[in-house]
């Protein structure tokens, strides 16, 4: 979340910056500023009451020594009244902080000055396109190809679990395992530490990364816990409530997990195929870094995601998300989009974001700098990559109408067999 004291000091500037994201956050900002003022007033009142209570407590000893029993009783009564007021103010303080933090949790991060102003994905400038070899580029959609090759059972998923679920079968299952291994191996060889994580997390972890309270309707809940929408949640929270040694930074983490999203608000979009699923497979990349290094680390993160698409020799482009299309916790984001011939368009396969200290404030993840001053870290995350979308892109770009040519990087996993028929 944003620092409420920073909001209070820079309210107009912050309202202007957030207005470029689309919705009007001025009411929320006014609300948290007012609640913060009340919070500070209560703290002053509590301090004054406790000081008076301490003063009266000291007087009781003197009065008892002088055997002034009547005055002792009056003083005890005053102390009891102070206690009642302190309890009352403590309860109000808790409620004020609760309301303030909830509303702060609904306010997104401030876009970096380098982020282009825009309202939607139509305003995202292209940064670069890949150079790739000639692919087959047939116009058949990936779900038809997957069915013909018996890689995916699109009917069994809904039978078992409902719409937007699928089942990989036979070589399709092997394809998921092989790709996960290729991705993880590449990232581990380039400095990332691998984790195999739980897919259920506590509410505090979801709050830490900004998924709660804003996106609760998009999360799958089990009791008081949540299924992860991405491995970003547990990976980024590994150091929640810790003060790190500056020498350990930057930290680079990766994990392959299944991920779960309700896809709230996506009714009618990508109902067929492997683009928008309730349960999907992904390799996530997370960086925890010093503030002055975070923008450079974002560029490295994008390159790590690009490297995967280069390994599979797929056509893609990098775009810079505008203010109106950025994710909630991000201050700057690049998307990688891979080419889908059947749709005649690029589709997102990775989103790489610098969240600044937005998540770190929620998680209380800090470090000691060279001057022994405690500072918040910066956190970054990105897909490295979304495996189901990667498989879909391979199917569409390597299908000749009869057989699927396997990208060279996959051949060792399939006994050097060049095709799936």
What was the pLDDT predicted at 134?
64
C-beta of residue 209 within 8 angstroms of C-beta of residue 232: yes
The H or E element containing residue 289 is strand 279-289
Q: Which residues are annotated as a binding site for ATP?
A: 261-263, 348-351
C-beta of residue 8 within 8 angstroms of C-beta of residue 80: no
What was the pLDDT predicted at 382?
98
What was the pLDDT predicted at 410?
98
Token couple for 308: 């995967």
pTM: 0.92
C-beta of residue 209 within 8 angstroms of C-beta of residue 326: no
C-beta of residue 323 within 8 angstroms of C-beta of residue 358: no
Q: Which domains does the chain have, with CATH numbers?
A: 4-104 (1.10.287), 121-420 (3.30.930.10)
List all residues 6 or more positions away from 170 whose beta carbon is below 8 Å from its beta carbon.
150, 151
* Cα distance from N-terminal residue to C-terminal residue, the chain: 51
Q: Name the one residue in this structure whose structure tokens are 């900002």.
A: 29
Residuewise pLDDT in 10s, the chain (421 residues): 999 999 999 999 999 999 999 999 999 999 999 999 999 999 999 999 989 888 877 766 665 655 566 666 676 777 888 888 999 999 999 999 999 999 999 999 999 999 999 999 999 999 999 987 667 767 899 999 999 999 999 999 999 999 999 999 999 999 999 999 999 999 999 999 999 999 999 999 999 999 999 999 999 999 999 999 999 999 999 999 999 999 999 999 999 999 999 986 666 676 789 999 999 999 999 999 999 999 999 999 999 999 999 999 999 999 999 999 999 999 999 999 999 999 999 999 999 999 999 999 999 999 999 999 999 999 999 999 999 999 999 999 999 999 999 999 999 999 999 999 8
The angle formed by the CA atoms of residues 384, 235 and 201, to the nearest 5 degrees, is 120
> Residue 178 carries which DSSP code?
H
C-beta of residue 1 within 8 angstroms of C-beta of residue 107: yes
C-beta of residue 370 within 8 angstroms of C-beta of residue 173: no
What was the pLDDT predicted at 163?
94
What was the pLDDT predicted at 139?
86
Q: Which residues are annotated as a binding site?
A: 230-232, 261-263, 284, 348-351, 381, 383
Q: Name the one residue in this structure whose structure tokens are 């401030």.
A: 110
| Separation between Cα atoms, residue 218 and residue 212, nearest integer Å | 10
What was the pLDDT predicted at 72?
60
| Separation between Cα atoms, residue 74 and residue 380, nearest integer Å | 60
Give the SS3 label for residue 62.
Answer: helix
| Separation between Cα atoms, residue 257 and residue 386, nearest integer Å | 10
List all residues 6 or more positions away from 330 whose beta carbon is below 8 Å from its beta carbon.
109, 321, 353, 354, 355
Cα–Cα nearest to 128, from 270, 414, 342, 320: 320
Q: Which residues are annotated as a binding site for L-serine?
A: 230-232, 261, 284, 381, 383
Q: Name the one residue in this structure whose structure tokens are 């007087």.
A: 59
Token couple for 247: 């020498």
What was the pLDDT predicted at 82?
83
C-beta of residue 362 within 8 angstroms of C-beta of residue 209: yes
Q: How would you classify residue 247: left for phi > 0, otherwise alpha for psi between -120 and 50, otherwise beta?
A: alpha
DSSP 382-401: EEEEEHHHHHHHHHHHSB-S
Distance of CA 117 to the CA centre of its chain: 22
């Amino acid at each position: 979340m944003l620092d409420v004291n920073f909001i209070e000091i820079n309210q107009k500037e912050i309202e202007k910056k957030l207005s470029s994201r689309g919705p009007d956050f001025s009411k929320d900002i006014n609300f948290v500023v007012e609640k913060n003022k009340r919070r500070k007033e209560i703290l002053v009142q509590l301090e004054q009451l406790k000081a008076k209570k301490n003063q009266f407590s000291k007087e009781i000893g003197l009065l008892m020594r002088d055997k002034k029993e009547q005055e002792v009783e009056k003083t005890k009564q005053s102390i009891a009244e102070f206690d009642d007021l302190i309890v009352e103010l403590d309860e109000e303080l808790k409620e004020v902080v609760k309301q303030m933090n909830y509303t702060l949790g609904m306010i997104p991060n401030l876009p970096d000055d380098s982020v282009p102003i825009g309202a939607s994905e139509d305003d995202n400038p292209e940064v670069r396109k890949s150079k790739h070899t000639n692919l087959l580029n047939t116009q058949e959609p990936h779900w038809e190809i997957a069915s013909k090759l018996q890689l995916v059972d699109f009917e069994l998923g809904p039978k078992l679990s409902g719409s937007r679920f699928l089942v990989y079968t036979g070589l399709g299952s092997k394809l998921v395992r092989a790709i996960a291994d290729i991705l993880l191996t590449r990232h581990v060889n380039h400095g990332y530490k691998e984790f195999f994580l739980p897919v259920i997390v506590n509410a505090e972890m979801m709050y830490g990364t900004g998924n709660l309270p804003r996106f609760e309707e998009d999360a799958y809940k089990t009791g008081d816990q949540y299924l992860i929408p991405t491995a970003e949640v547990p990976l980024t929270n590994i150091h929640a409530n810790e003060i790190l040694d500056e020498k350990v930074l930057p930290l680079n983490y990766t994990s392959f997990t299944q991920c779960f999203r309700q896809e709230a608000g996506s009714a009618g979009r990508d109902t067929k195929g492997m683009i928008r699923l309730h349960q999907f497979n992904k390799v996530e990349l997370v960086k925890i870094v010093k503030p002055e290094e975070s923008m450079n680390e974002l560029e490295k993160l994008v390159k790590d995601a690009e490297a995967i698409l280069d390994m599979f020799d797929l056509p893609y482009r990098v775009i810079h998300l505008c203010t109106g299309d950025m994710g909630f916790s991000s201050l700057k984001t690049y998307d990688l989009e891979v080419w889908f011939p059947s749709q005649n368009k690029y589709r997102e396969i990775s989103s790489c974001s610098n969240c600044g200290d937005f998540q770190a404030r929620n998680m209380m993840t800090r470090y000691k700098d060279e001057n022994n001053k405690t500072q918040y870290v910066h956190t970054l995350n990105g897909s490295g990559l979304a495996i189901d979308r990667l498989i879909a892109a391979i199917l569409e770009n390597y299908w000749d109408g009869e057989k699927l040519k396997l990208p060279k990087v996959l051949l060792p996993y399939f006994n050097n067999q060049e095709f799936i028929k």
